[in-house]
Structure 1
Amino acid sequence: MNGPERITLAMTGASGAQYGLRLLDCLVQEEREVHFLISKAAQLVMATETDVALPSKPQAMQQFLSEYTGAAPGQIRVYAKEDWMAPPASGSSAPAAMVVVPCSTGTLSAIASGACNNLIERAADVALKERRPLILVPREAPYSSIHLENMLKLSNLGATILPASPGFYHQPQTLDDLVDFVVARILNCLQIPQDLLPRWGEHHNGSHD
């Protein structure tokens, strides 16, 4: 199996709930175990941007997401924001990689400062200290100098900053195509197989001298 078998997926309160939901679906299809974390702000954004109405309690949310994605029993595990006994909170048992998508600038700032005020921030802190892949997908425009300084700091610490900036060279026809572009880039960074987007040059038929 290419890429990590266990992944922490966190969603915070920036626009772009579709990216997180699509990534969750793809990870389930690739038979990965997903430890799912979500902020209250992200739940509000999701209700605004999609027709997905998540239950508020972790156990009910876990059952809902498992049915929504067709996950196997135990494949998706949902934890409350202050569940300090959850595996993502400790370097000894945390998943091998973490993605925060979408990543709000508030979460970006908290991770950059090592705040650890909730499980999302602590899980990201664990990923950094254990030198494990941490992919942050901010969605903001324009970026302030504070945002850029936090991104540079985290990049220097080993995190991957992957803005939700879809390309157009694949000639997208729908909004789903734009979402898939970003999700494909995340999966590529995780080294998980994906067929959402061909890699650059894969289907190039140009002549060769």
Structure 2
Amino acid sequence: MKIVVCITGASGVIYGIRLLEELKKERIETHLVISTIAKDIIEYETEYTVDNVKSIANFNYEEKDLNAIINSGSFKFDATIIIPTSMKTLSAISNGYADNSITRVADVTLKERRTLIIVPRETPLRTIHLENMLTISKEGGIILPAMPGFYHKPQNIDEQINFILGKILDILNIDNNLFNKWKQ
């Protein structure tokens, strides 16, 4: 399996970092793009450095590199996950504005009918945010907001993060035990 992971400039970059770690444990090939703003947020919100995060992925690309292999429909990959997704990135994807590697790989993912998972991280949401999500959903993208559940009775923030990561891995049909599934 080959997965493209994009980390954009929204709070919650730890979701993207932890996703990379989980995919690495599963020996899944990862292709990473970190936006310029996300690089600042990584340093601000986490104990990781940008170089630490890059070292987790198998391949790295710069946000402005439109010649990157991931931006071609002929490059075969299974899914793209944009985690977290800023509202700027969401808007660009929704409107087909593929001016960087993140929005271009999302465009390729949708046009090639591959799995696109968008993890928006914003609150509250404006009507335009919701409309942009609806547009992407109508094209086959999956909107998976960073909204952890509580039925598994999380004891700490890691368990809340794992809930979201488990949901992503479930969509990708990757077995995981990151959270206790709903039981009656």
- TM tier, shorter chain? over 0.9
Give identity over the alignment, percent: 45
Distance in 2 (CA, whole Å) between partners of 1:85 and 1:193 is 34
Report the equivalent of 1:180.
162
Match of 2:47 among 47, 51, 56: 51
**Residue pairs, 1:51-70, within 5 angstroms:** 51-55=47-51, 65-66=54-55, 69=56
Report the equivalent of 2:136.
154
Q: Normalising by structure 1, report the TM-score.
A: 0.84
Q: Give 1:96 deviation, angstroms.
A: 1.4
Q: Residue type of the partner of 1:27? A: L
Query: Once superposed, what is the RMSD of the aligned Cα atoms?
Result: 1.3
Aligned partners of 1:87 and 1:95 also within 8 Å: no
The runs of 4+ residues in structure 1 deviating greater than 3 Å are none
Q: In structure 2, the residue corresponding to 1:102 is in which secondary structure?
A: strand
**Residue pairs, 1:73-84, within 5 angstroms:** 76-84=58-66
**Residue pairs, 1:129-168, within 5 angstroms:** 129-168=111-150
Mark the runs of 5 or more structure 1 residues left unpaired by the alignment.
Answer: 56-60, 70-74, 205-209
Q: Give 1:45 deviation, angstroms.
A: 1.2
Distance in 2 (CA, whole Å) between partners of 1:147 and 1:115 is 15
Report the equivalent of 1:72.
none
Q: Residue type of the partner of 1:157? A: E
Mark the runs of 5 or more structure 2 residues left unpaired by the alignment.
Answer: none
Structure ID, larger Rg: 1
Match of 2:23 among 4, 23, 27: 27
Could you report, residue by residue, the CA deviation over 1:112-156 in whole angstroms, capped at 9, with x for unpaired residues?
011111000000000000000000000111100000000001000
| Count of matched residue pairs | 184
Q: Give 1:110 deviation, angstroms.
A: 0.3
Q: Normalising by structure 2, report the TM-score.
A: 0.95
